[in-house]
Amino acid sequence: MRRASSRTRARGPAGTGGTAACVAVLLLILPAAPAAADSGSVSTQGSAAAEAHRVIRVAHRGGAALAPENTLAAFRAGLEQGADALELDVHLSRDGELVVIHDAALARTTNAAGEVGEMTFAELRRLDASARFFGPPVERQLIPTLQEVVDLAKGRASLQIEIKLRSDGSRYPGIEPRVVETLRQSGMVDDAVILSFDFPTLTSVKALEQRLRTCALISRAYLQKVGKRGPAAVAEEMAALGVTSVGVEKTWLLEPLYRQLRSRGLGVGVWTVDDSGEMRRFALMGVDFITSNRPDLLRHALVASDGPGSP
């Protein structure tokens, strides 16, 4: 996903920046929601209700506050903290390898410049994926492959795989079939969800494999355009896509939008939530999954549940 709010993650979030304009749009189109409870004001009754609701705990980029994002160290941290699902981002190298990294450009998280899609896998593998991490000390990390993350997670957690675009907004030719085939060969089709802000990507994935669940991520630009017509219009368009669920950034998931999405039979998830009080608040709302850079906090905020899950 585009936004990773944690003071210990790699410097500078990619993608969404400056949410004020979108929030203003939503305040115009959505009725006022009840005031959010802060970390210290969740009632005993509210806490019990939140814990009773089965919420899937998703480690954002593996646990971006605990270890360098989208590295095996981060995914191991997420698993150690009991995450039900690992969220990750996938690009395609110049020679066709599926690599796990958030940005299409290398500079924010590695010790190199340039574009992921312009480098071979061998070239990418020589980079330090932990070079820009300012959290707890960690040994040098490589950019992992999708297969490596699949092998790590299998039997332990499900996967939420976001298929990314190039810096110019174009799709990587052939990336969807490669992702689908990796999941098929690994026996992970039923334990994975494909996410994207790019809706044609989700349509392509569904055409390739009907069993794969898909999740549309709602962007600021999307809400500024479609959201002006109201939450019902957003929900109608999401339902028409044929996706299983919708992932909404926490600032924008207000009760009216949530209700409209539910009324169309859609699963609803929220990202990126790093505060325990907000985690419980969204659990009380009834969301299916909560994505966090702090799977350790998420583990304690929500009651443990049996087995891996996904939206």
Tokens of 5: 């709010």
The answer to whether residues 53 and 133 touch, using CB atoms and an 8 Å cutoff, is: no
Tokens of 21: 């304009």
How far, in Å, are 144, 248, 253 from residue 38 at the CA level? 37, 20, 16
Give residue 205's identity as a one-letter amino acid code.
V
Tokens of 183: 């999941």
H/E segment holding residue 216:
strand 213-217
Buried b (16+ CB within 10 A) or exposed e, 107-116: ebbbeeeebb
Question: Tens digit of pLDDT for each residue in 279-310?
Answer: 999 999 999 999 999 999 999 999 643 344 44
Cβ count near 148 (within 10 Å): 16
pLDDT at 15: 40
Question: Tens digit of pLDDT for each residue in 241-260?
Answer: 999 999 999 999 999 999 99
pLDDT at 220: 82
The answer to whether residues 155 and 210 touch, using CB atoms and an 8 Å cutoff, is: no
Beta bridge partners of 196: 216
The whole-angstrom separation of Cα 278 and Cα 33 is 14
Query: Would you write out the chain's pLDDT as a tens digit for each of its 311 residues?
Result: 754 433 333 333 344 444 444 444 443 344 433 333 333 333 334 444 444 568 999 999 999 999 999 999 999 999 999 999 999 999 999 999 999 999 999 999 999 999 999 999 999 999 999 999 999 999 999 999 999 999 999 999 999 999 999 999 999 999 999 999 999 999 999 999 999 999 999 999 999 999 999 999 998 888 888 888 999 999 999 999 999 999 999 999 999 999 999 999 999 999 999 999 999 999 999 999 999 999 999 999 996 433 444 44
Domains of the chain: 41-301 (3.20.20.190)
pLDDT at 277: 96
